Amino acid sequence: MNLEREWANLTPRDAIALQRNTATAVITEDQLPVVRTVAGVDVGFENKHTARAAVVVLDAATLEPVDHALARLPVSFPYVPGLLSFRECPVVLRALSSLSVTPDLLLCDGQGIAHPRRLGVASHLGVLTGLPSIGVAKSRLVGTHDPVPDRRGAWVPLRDGDEVIGAVLRTRQGVKPLFISPGHRLSLATALEWVMACVTRYRLPETTRWADGLASDRGQRWLDRLK
């Protein structure tokens, strides 16, 4: 799948139309395999011209890394809020294709269906790859919610009108909550279970911590830990 070529001439209007069409393929019911490996996915930008994707595969039981891949590509789509997957998916697919271990579940740094057109990067990647995916976002893109109780594992629904599009989850007492939403092939309840299963003593799940570390300017320090 060469998205760089397929999306080379997309305009924002074209991308919105494609999002709406692709969103019809998103599944928000549990269709997971036995999950033995989980992967964190994140994209950083080395400069305004170059995107760097990191995918780190962890053993689901121990949360120890078993595989990882980095990829770099020129950025061909402009920054438009709500259309970030068109900047990020091509380079993530390049990284995924370099893995030796295909993950059973993706935890993506970004939104799943908690998106105006129900197709954040986690949902878009899920449909493109066929893999179950979860959106694990640090901030809200759309929706409203009640205050989240200050205890580990507490959550409240994230709603867009009458529709529940995700959850606002407190992974640790005394820290800001995360915005969790199904990406593809799993329910909100299962998404929350897997995020908490990947959380240790930090705010972010280990999947996100590893992928964020490798995709960022701190990448070399995290790479050194994999040696």
- Annotated binding residue 42: yes
* Nearest Cα to Cα of residue 26 among 110, 97, 114: 114
Tokens of 180: 């969790």
Residue 74: its H or E element: strand 65-74
| Residues 49, 85 contacting (CB under 8 angstroms) | no
| Residues 2, 156 contacting (CB under 8 angstroms) | no
- CA 168 to CA 157: how far, in whole Å? 6
| Residues 56, 225 contacting (CB under 8 angstroms) | no
Which alpha helices (H) appear in 24-152, and where do they start and end?
85-97, 121-129
* Nearest Cα to Cα of residue 115 among 200, 32, 16: 16
| Residues 54, 44 contacting (CB under 8 angstroms) | yes
- Annotated binding residue 109: yes
Pairing mode, if any, of strands 133-137 and 105-109? parallel
Residue set of the binding site = 42, 109
Residue set of the binding site for Mg(2+) = 42, 109
